[in-house]
């Protein structure tokens, strides 16, 4: 392996091309795609399976054209570098910590790559005193502790390449590092290095101890991952346990496979190559002893993705080549299946407070949410017999369905006990305007503030009470589905539109996913009806989505793209 001198080619791991990294700011999270399933390969390794990840592009602002992320520890600290290695564009090492980027470069070096790290502050990599226009730059391995105390590490041999090539690529928590050196014939020789003892031991392929081999990663059990070139000239990955068991890993159908990382569960990560020459494409992979291969491509770098590191949580780091030819670093976090159990809240909700102005005028202070965005509503004070005693100025909701206002009335009399404040569906006259959507409990003497109670009244004037309900929202990242199962009562019989929105019940936002209408029976009930969204490309976030069941159906909740009064939320819950 040499320092890169061509934009878009990473040579931090041996002579075979492996990919490239670079980009700016964090990208939108998206799910990975997986290759079709394959049968077991010639080594008896399981075929390819689907695994879902959420991705973020991660680039050091010092160079948005070339970044590679090469290792990640269990605290989420990432090792990497920027700069392509081309003349005048040297590799510059760094660590990305929760506090930001920290430069890490071997003292006096011209170029440095930080390739691996453990959980105890030890980093490894390699450095060069050159940045020439040719590939012939010298390489020397190093380790450091806490970004200080740098030590050069070079395998003791008289059979070095010219200029010499030594690289340390990984280190475990026992301070055992792995890497390789290149001999005068261009053959790579893998080795382990004990930082505490300063001793070396070779890593070889048992059947062909003279094969060109690179040791790229080591876990806390002493298992080593890397790649080697067999007698036929094909490059395959391997996992060699501390007990000496050597498992070749060849991605099904690939022309070459290289492993760059391994965690304590023996999950191996790397890159496979399809084709050769200018037509070759690269894809990232993970492999586990029980599950076989999974293809992992950053959505912005399909056919040009390399996975370099994996921690014990299954978090990945690597790089890809984007559409502009830049090399972008990325992280990939496994997306797990999830089930949310929701208690649906009746809408609208909030409080109203009666206030008499100094002139004796009755006013109403409203602090509520869950209205149709942008809607206007008639507000009335009704006697115990249902007659209108007083009418307030119209109540208007904002674009998020919130109503915070003071409504005035011309009435100056006291409010009779047993009366109700009623909010109607619309602010215009007509049949639909007379449908109540919320009211207070019976007004009692001396009590000024009341919680609103949602009500549902059908077009015929029949009341079905206060809507209530429950739902489960199940996300399957591998099937890319969201399944909603809903039970509800107190609804007008018939179809009711439902959506998964961005935002919250208190601050409504746009639709993320549409669901097929749910149907209430003649008693106003929905019983465990199931709706499934397919082709889901965005994992369910921890917060920021909500489920909304509407009063109307999909045919009448919008007019010219704008919400109608029938859009009114009936039941809502944050997911």
CB 463 within 8 A of CB 453: no
pTM score over 0.85: no
Pick the range with the lowest mean pLDDT from 4-18, 138-152, 425-439, 469-483. 4-18
Pick the range with the lowest mean pLDDT from 21-25, 71-75, 113-117, 395-399. 21-25
Q: How many alpha carbons lie under 13 Å from residue 3 in its C-beta half-sphere?
A: 37
pLDDT band at residue 107 under the 50/70/90 scheme: very high
Nearest CA to 283 out of 573, 36, 556, 15 is that of 36
Nearest CA to 232 out of 248, 247, 243 is that of 248
The sheet with strand 92-97 has its strands ordered as: 67-72, 78-82, 92-97, 100-103
Residue-wise pLDDT for 299-342, tens only, equals 999 999 999 999 999 999 999 999 999 999 999 999 888 999 99
User: Which residues, 6+ apart, have CB-to-CB distance to 93 below 8 Å?
Assistant: 79, 80, 81, 103, 104, 105, 106, 112, 113, 114, 125
User: Which residues, 6+ apart, have CB-to-CB distance to 207 below 8 Å?
Assistant: 246
b or e along 543-571 (b: 16 or more beta carbons within 10 Å of the residue's beta carbon)? eebbbbbbbbbbeebeeeeebbbbbbbbb
State the chain's mean pLDDT as an integer.
Answer: 88
Residue-wise pLDDT for 531-575, tens only, equals 999 999 778 888 999 999 999 999 999 999 999 999 999 999 999
Q: What is residue 205's DSSP assignment?
A: B
Percentage with pLDDT > 70 across the chain: 89
b or e along 513-522 (b: 16 or more beta carbons within 10 Å of the residue's beta carbon)? bebebbebee
Pick the range with the lowest mean pLDDT from 105-119, 349-363, 403-417. 403-417
- Beta strands (DSSP E) in 242-348 are 246-249, 256-262, 268-274, 281-288, 292-296, 305-310, 316-321, 327-334, 338-346
144 in helix, strand or coil?
A: strand
CA distance 38 to 285: 14
Backbone angles phi, psi at 566, to 5 degrees: -70, -10
Model confidence at 511: pLDDT above 70 = yes
Average pLDDT over residues 195-209: 94
Dihedral (CA of 270, 276, 278, 279) sign: negative
Model confidence at 191: pLDDT above 90 = yes
Average pLDDT over residues 199-206: 96
CA distance 81 to 94: 5
Q: What local confidence, expressed as pLDDT, does residue 269 receive?
A: 98
Q: What local confidence, expressed as pLDDT, does residue 235 receive?
A: 96
Average pLDDT over residues 230-247: 94
Average pLDDT over residues 404-410: 90
CA distance 97 to 88: 27
pLDDT band at residue 38 under the 50/70/90 scheme: very low
From the CB of residue 200, how many other CB atoms can be counted at a distance below 10 Å? 17
In the numeric block, which tokens belong to residue 6? 């061509």
Residue-wise pLDDT for 371-406, tens only, equals 999 999 999 999 998 888 889 999 999 999 999 999
Pick the range with the lowest mean pLDDT from 180-194, 280-294, 504-518, 520-534. 280-294
**Residue with the two structure tokens 């014939």:** 185
Dihedral (CA of 15, 19, 24, 26) sign: negative
Nearest CA to 79 out of 90, 87, 91, 88 is that of 91
Dihedral (CA of 47, 35, 31, 283) sign: positive
Q: What local confidence, expressed as pLDDT, does residue 483 receive?
A: 98
In the numeric block, which tokens belong to residue 525? 């009930």
Backbone angles phi, psi at 434, to 5 degrees: -85, -5
CB 58 within 8 A of CB 298: no
CB 470 within 8 A of CB 341: yes
**Residue 566 vs residues 87, 174, 372: alpha-carbon distances, Å:** 66, 65, 8
Model confidence at 344: pLDDT above 60 = yes
b or e along 40-62 (b: 16 or more beta carbons within 10 Å of the residue's beta carbon)? ebeeebbbbbbbbbbbbbbbbee
Average pLDDT over residues 160-185: 97
**Residue 148 vs residues 107, 122, 123, 306, 518: alpha-carbon distances, Å:** 10, 9, 10, 29, 63
Model confidence at 27: pLDDT above 80 = no
Classify the phi-psi angles of 561: left when phi > 0, otherwise alpha if psi is within -120 to 50, otherwise beta. Answer: left
Q: What local confidence, expressed as pLDDT, does residue 49 receive?
A: 55
Q: What local confidence, expressed as pLDDT, does residue 132 receive?
A: 84
User: Which residues, 6+ apart, have CB-to-CB distance to 551 below 8 Å?
Assistant: 437, 456, 492, 496, 557, 566, 567, 568, 569, 570
Pick the range with the lowest mean pLDDT from 134-143, 146-155, 366-375, 388-397. 134-143
Nearest CA to 55 out of 335, 419, 362 is that of 335
In the numeric block, which tokens belong to residue 439? 């009211």
Q: What local confidence, expressed as pLDDT, does residue 127 receive?
A: 97
Please provide the distance, in angstroms rounded to a whole number, between the alpha carbons at the two ends of the chain: 49
Percentage with pLDDT > 90 across the chain: 74
CB 268 within 8 A of CB 290: no
433 in helix, strand or coil?
A: helix
Model confidence at 426: pLDDT above 80 = yes
CA distance 345 to 470: 9
* Structural domains of the chain ordered from first start: 48-335 (2.120.10.30), 350-454 (2.60.40.200), 465-574 (2.60.40.200)
């Amino acid at each position: 392996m040499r320092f890169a001198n061509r934009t878009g080619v990473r040579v931090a791991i041996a002579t075979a091309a492996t990919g490239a990294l670079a980009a700016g700011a964090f990208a939108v999270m998206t799910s990975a795609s997986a290759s079709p399933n394959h049968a077991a390969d010639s080594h008896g390794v399981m075929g390819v399976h689907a695994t879902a990840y959420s991705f973020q592009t991660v680039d050091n602002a010092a160079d948005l054209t070339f970044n590679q992320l090469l290792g990640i520890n269990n605290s989420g600290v990432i090792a990497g570098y920027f700069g392509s290695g081309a003349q005048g564009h040297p590799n510059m090492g760094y660590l990305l910590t929760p506090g930001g980027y920290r430069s890490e470069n071997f003292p006096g070096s011209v170029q440095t790559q930080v390739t691996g790290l453990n959980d105890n502050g030890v980093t490894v990599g390699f450095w060069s005193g050159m940045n020439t226009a040719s590939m012939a730059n010298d390489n020397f391995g190093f380790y450091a502790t806490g970004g200080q105390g740098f030590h050069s590490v070079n395998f003791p041999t008289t059979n070095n390449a010219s200029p010499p090539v030594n690289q340390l690529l990984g280190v475990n928590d026992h301070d055992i590092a792995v890497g390789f050196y290149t001999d005068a014939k261009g053959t790579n020789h893998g080795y382990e290095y004990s930082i505490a003892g300063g001793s070396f031991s070779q890593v070889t392929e048992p059947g062909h101890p003279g094969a060109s081999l690179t040791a790229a990663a080591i876990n806390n059990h002493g298992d080593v991952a890397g790649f080697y070139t067999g007698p036929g000239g094909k490059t395959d990955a391997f996992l060699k346990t501390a007990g000496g068991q050597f498992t070749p890993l060849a991605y099904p159908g690939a022309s070459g496979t290289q492993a760059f990382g391994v965690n304590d569960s023996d999950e191996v990560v790397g890159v496979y190559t399809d084709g050769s020459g200018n037509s070759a494409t690269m894809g990232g992979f993970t492999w586990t002893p029980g599950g076989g291969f999974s293809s992992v491509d950053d959505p912005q770098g399909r056919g040009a993705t390399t996975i370099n590191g994996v921690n014990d949580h299954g978090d990945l780091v690597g790089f890809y080549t984007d559409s502009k030819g830049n090399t972008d670093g990325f992280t990939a976090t496994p997306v797990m299946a999830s089930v949310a159990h929701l208690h649906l809240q009746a809408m609208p909700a909030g409080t109203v407070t009666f206030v008499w102005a100094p002139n004796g005028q009755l006013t109403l202070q409203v602090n509520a949410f869950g209205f149709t965005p942008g809607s206007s509503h008639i507000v009335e004070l009704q006697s115990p017999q249902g007659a209108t005693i007083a009418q307030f100025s119209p109540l208007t909701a904002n674009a998020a369905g919130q109503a915070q206002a003071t409504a005035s009335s011309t009435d100056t009399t006291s409010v009779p006990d047993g009366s109700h404040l009623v909010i109607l569906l619309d602010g215009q006259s007509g049949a639909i305007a007379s449908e109540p959507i919320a009211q207070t409990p019976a007004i009692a003497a001396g009590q000024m503030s009341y919680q609103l109670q949602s009500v549902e009244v059908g077009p015929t004037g029949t009341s079905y009470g206060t809507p209530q309900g429950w739902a489960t929202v199940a996300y399957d990242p591998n099937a890319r589905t969201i399944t909603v199962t809903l039970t509800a009562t107190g609804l007008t019989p018939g179809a009711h539109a439902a959506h998964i929105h961005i935002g919250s019940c208190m601050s409504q936002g746009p639709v993320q996913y549409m669901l097929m209408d749910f149907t209430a029976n003649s008693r106003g009930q929905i019983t465990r009806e199931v709706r499934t969204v397919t082709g889901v490309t965005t994992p369910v976030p921890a917060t920021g989505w909500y489920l909304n069941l509407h009063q109307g159906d999909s045919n009448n909740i919008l007019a010219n793209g704008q919400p109608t009064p029938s859009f009114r939320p009936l039941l809502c819950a944050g997911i």
